[in-house]
Structure 1
Amino acid sequence: MSENTPYDLRKVLDEIKQIPGQYHETDKEIDPEADLAGVYRYIGAGGTVKRPTQEGPTMMFNNVKGFPGSRVLIGLQASRKRVGTILHQDYKHLGQALNEAVTHPIQPVEVSKDQAPAQEVVHLATDKDFDIRKLLAAPTNTSDDAGPYITMGVVYGHSTDGKESDVTIHRMVLEDKDTIGMYIMPGGRHIGAFLKQYEAINEPMPITINIGLDPAITIGATFEPPTTPLGYNELQVAGALRNEAVQVVKGTTVNAMGIARAEWIIEAEILPNTKMQEDINTNSGYAMPEFPGYNGTANPAVNVVKIKAVTHRQDNPIVQTTIGPSEEHVSMAGIPTEASILNLVDRAIPGKVTNVYNAPAGGGKLMTIMQIHKDDINDEGIQRQAALLAFSAFKELKTVILVDEDVDIFDWNDVMWTINTRFQADRDMLVLEGLRNHPLDPSELPEYDPARIRQRGMSSKLVLDGTVPYDMKQQFVRAPFKEMPNWQDYLK
């Protein structure tokens, strides 16, 4: 592929194939119903997936049972170091890179159908033999899932007047031959805000669901308010990360834009004021595994999406998928959250937070580690102000750990060393009660703590302040080993 070819999933794969240990493909037949995720769980899922698991290569399954000619890719972003390689950034500073991108956006550019590989093949939902369940190799993560799920589909929609547009990622289950159940989490998702406009006039909302994308798009799409307000199209973030505009194209059957270099585009409409049971086909009570590491509860009333057409590339189109609690979710949700926190603290207390890491233990959403810089005694307490700012920037955040500049926030041993040697629970632990958090955390149920949790999605929040009091810095100096710039010479 030419260096001048615009970025898409295939260009990214060509690049990482050149790096040993980062890509693996197999021609061995795999069943997409639980087996595919079950295999990758061992190979490279990581995150909060049930052990044993590990960080490993992204994996392409070339022989998917029941889907000749279609391939499934999983785990492309299930390694922070691999994400850094993909985005041509230092993996430890991806939050800063995303913050820079979101503040210097590049608008997407419209191209014609003949410039859109995603529309090379067109299947109409009115075709006699159309069935999305036989066309799209969407896996199930476990045998309890409500059905095959689209887990890496970027939903692209616009306001009723067409002046504002947005992209978001939702869990979407294939319910029947032309119907998708889409869970739109209440509050914060702009596709949901646009849908309310359509429901107010009782009209269906046209959308596209784009699958198989450059990770710059899937990571950028997970920004949330207040960093990206209503009407901020996150495709602009991907444009800035690549320093080239994302190419978009008009749908063939709906008044909505699709991502021109996707592998697949589902053209559809969200029906107004219409809901359905998410697990209507299984009645298992479960949806799919979610980022905290538990099976998500099936929602009794998800939005109903009716498919109008499916388009895809001619040559072995790739279905991109992920495991809900995997390290891939951490990359997609956590890195933009780091950027959002940095964005806010840089404006409120510039220079005091040097780096932020949303660790896998929190699924990318529930926990952040903040590295604090104190200039003098007057900065004492600024670290706790930073924690409060982080909570205000991202309501789903539950735990903040504060550390000094000499601590590697990407090394759990170093972070926990801080909590063991620079922390006293009676003075350095702060608990904030009665705040909103993420409804997928199973500890946030009224029966867990009736006195403090009035309804699901409320939580107490925790700050662990592992920073050294400024006037005691000299009592917490780490052992001063000699700097040896040539240390690698001794490994030759």
Structure 2
Amino acid sequence: MSEKINDLRSAIKRLEEMPGQLTRTDVEVDPRAELSGVYRYVGAGGTVMRPTKEGPAMIFNHVKGHPGARVMIGLLASRKRVAALLDCAPEELGKKLYRSVDKPVPPVLTQGAALCQQVVHRAEDADFDLNKLVPAPTNTPDDAGPYITLGMCYATHPDTGLSDVTIHRLCIQGKDELSIFFTPGARHIGAMAERAEELGRTLPISISIGVDPAIEIGSCFEPPTTPLGYDELAVAGALRGEPVELCQCLTVNERAIANAEYVIEGEILPGVRVKEDQNSHTGYAMPEFPGYTGPASDQCRLIKVKAVTHRENPIMQTCIGPSEEHVSMAGIPTEASIYGMVEKAMPGRLKNVYCASAGGGKYMAVLQFQKLSASDEGRQRQAALLAFSAFSELKHIFLVDEDVDCFDMNDVLWAMNTRFQGDQDIITIPGVRCHPLDPSNDPVYSASIRDRGIACKTVFDCTVPFALKDRFRRARFMETDPERWMN
């Protein structure tokens, strides 16, 4: 492998060493819907409407309206790529992240000049305009506007002084204004903004775009694995074995990721709410991970932008909301969290976890469970309940035995077809809080649902009863090395 990865550019170099994992184009592309429309066919995958596929990451070298800028999409839209970028096997990703959470390496302030501040644009400059400075794509013709989808938002709690990094959807609303959407109760920076508003103060914030993929993955951890006050940049530090370097912002009292491609500096204003589609009036926000375009919110906070800084010849990084990239960013940290929780409760039983593409990395998990003795019967269902109790967004859990590849949904469905009976192996838990972006979680869909975001959580137990394991042995094949016959 090449040099170690510590930013977007070194990650790109790694992909260049992997055949078929990166493609570039010099053909001009319009960032308004066309760029994402192209990548849908090249490599989006995930819950994007078919036809789509898992394919290479892509760099557009000529973006209409943004001379000199490049846009990268799909960096993490493949579990194989994520594994290569984090230096481990694909099936070990969840476990590696779990160990990193337990051994955090906090970020540090850089002692040298920050690469992200090689070029500086201040809001008081006469020609300052976010629409021209940041080549943010509009994913579909229905979007509220240009979205920054991979902005690492970094802020500090007004009371505790503790900082945190998370990803939120950010829509350009004007030459120096961004809207930011907080899912109620879901992310730490939302709590910081609420407290700052109670105090009648602005909340300084930095938005770093185009960073080490370890930061993008680590930033997607949620409570209870990383409670309020846990800086997820420390997960990236643990993954890399060295701290993430931060720099002091130039116009607000906050820090940013020093080697980011772009940094937007600003303040979240107290007492101000904006309608997300106030410029387009489409009624929609952007495509979300379940595969549907979400409604525009009229409760977005407003960020007043003070400056945009960037590296020379910057690379904008973006993703498509329902793509395999979201599966990687949301799903792998959830796998790590479920694995860690169950491992502490019943060591050695849970062999692995996969938050599958069909669930966008959030709605569905496959738990590979090993029953070591008769007393383990029923513990597999206890493991599912543990996962549900901690991660409200989970809706469906499939339980499979250790001889089933939890990362291969054909194998999972094979287990469902041969080790599952609907009248006794389905466990339903109605009336539980889930995720508001699932359109079926609505009273209009079922009278049993009391409020939007309430769902019936379901366990599909596709494991063999321990007493019957001898009757369910898979056909055993001779172990060979096929290379001798493949030359």
* Match of residue 230 from structure 1: 228
Other-structure match for 1:86: 85
Per the alignment, residue 486 of structure 2 pairs with 491
Are 1:299 and 2:297 counterparts?
yes
Distance across 2 between alignment mates of 1:395 and 1:172? 24
AA of the residue aligned to 2:134: L
Gaps of 5+ in 2: none
Partner-residue secondary structure (3-state), 2:330: helix
Secondary structure, aligned partner of 1:106: coil
Residues 207 and 351 of structure 1: CA distance in aligned 2, closer, same or farther (over 3 Å): same
- One of 437, 441, 445 as aligned partner of 1:440: 437
Letter of the structure 2 residue corresponding to residue 215 of structure 1? P
Q: How many Å apart are 1:477 and its aligned residue?
A: 0.4
Match of 2:470 in 1: 474
Q: Is the 8 A contact 2:273 2:301 kept in 1?
A: yes
Measure how far apart 1:42 and its partner are: 0.1
User: SS in structure 2 opposite 1:232?
Assistant: coil
Number of the residue aligned with 1:34: 33
The one-letter code sitting in structure 2 at the alignment partner of 1:217 is I
Question: Which residue does 2:310 correspond to in 1?
Answer: 312
| 8 Å contact kept, 2:58–2:74 | yes
Q: For 1:261, what is the secondary structure of its paired residue? A: coil
Tell me the residue number matched to 1:22.
21
Three-state SS of the structure 2 residue aligned to 1:281 is: coil
Residue in structure 2 matching 1:418, options 415, 418, 421: 415
SS in 1 for 2:381: helix
- Which structure 2 residues correspond to residues 397-416 of structure 1 after superposition, within 5 A? 397-416=394-413
SS of 1:203's partner is coil
Secondary structure class of the residue paired with 1:115: coil
Give the whole-Å Cα distance in 1 for the aligned partners of 2:2 and 2:311.
18
Partner of 2:65: 66
Equivalent-residue separation in structure 2 for 1:95 and 1:43 (angstroms): 27
3-state SS in 2 of match to 1:44: helix
1:206 to 201, 204, 207: 204
Following the alignment from structure 1 to structure 2, what is the Cα–Cα distance between the partners of residues 421 and 96? 29
| CA separation of 1:2 and 1:255: change in aligned 2, threshold 3 A | farther
**Scaled by the length of structure 1, what TM-score is found?**
0.98
Distance 2:72 2:191 in 1: 31
Corresponding position of 1:7: 6
1:97 and 1:273 map into 2 onto residues whose CA distance is 41
- AA paired with 1:424? Q
TM-score (norm 2): 0.99
Aligned length: 487
Amino acid aligned to 2:377 = E
137, 142, 162: which one pairs with 2:135?
137
- Per-residue deviation at 1:19? 1.0
Aligned to 1:98: 97
SS class of match (1:473)? helix
SS at match of 2:290: coil
Letter in 2 for 1:405: E
TM-fit CA distance, 1:461: 0.4
Is contact 2:2–2:13 with CA below 8 Å preserved after alignment?
A: no
- Corresponding residue number in structure 1 for 2:287: 289
Between the aligned residues of both structures, percent identity stands at 56
Q: Within 1, Cα distance between the matches of 2:229 and 2:345?
A: 24
Matched, 1:76 2:72: no
The amino acid of 1:146's aligned partner reads A
In structure 1, what is the Cα distance between the partners aligned to 2:429 and 2:145? 38
C-alpha separation in 2, matches of 1:430 and 1:161: 43
RMSD of aligned residue pairs (Cα, Å): 1.1
Aligned to 1:325: 322
Query: What is aligned with 2:169?
Result: 171
CA distance in 1, matches of 2:180, 2:443: 26
* Residues in 1 aligned to 2:407 and 2:214: alpha-carbon distance in whole angstroms: 22
Q: 2: CA distance between counterparts of 1:392 and 1:96?
A: 20
SS at match of 2:44: coil
- Which of 339, 355, 362 aligns to 2:359? It is 362
Q: How far did 1:2 drift?
A: 8.8
1:277-335 deviation line (CA, Å, top 9, x unaligned): 01001111100000000011111111111100000001x10110000000000000000
Any stretches of 5+ residues in structure 1 without a counterpart? none
1:396 aligns with 2:383: no
2:265 to 248, 264, 267: 267
Q: Paired residue for 1:247?
A: 245
User: 2:459 corresponds to which letter in structure 1?
Assistant: V
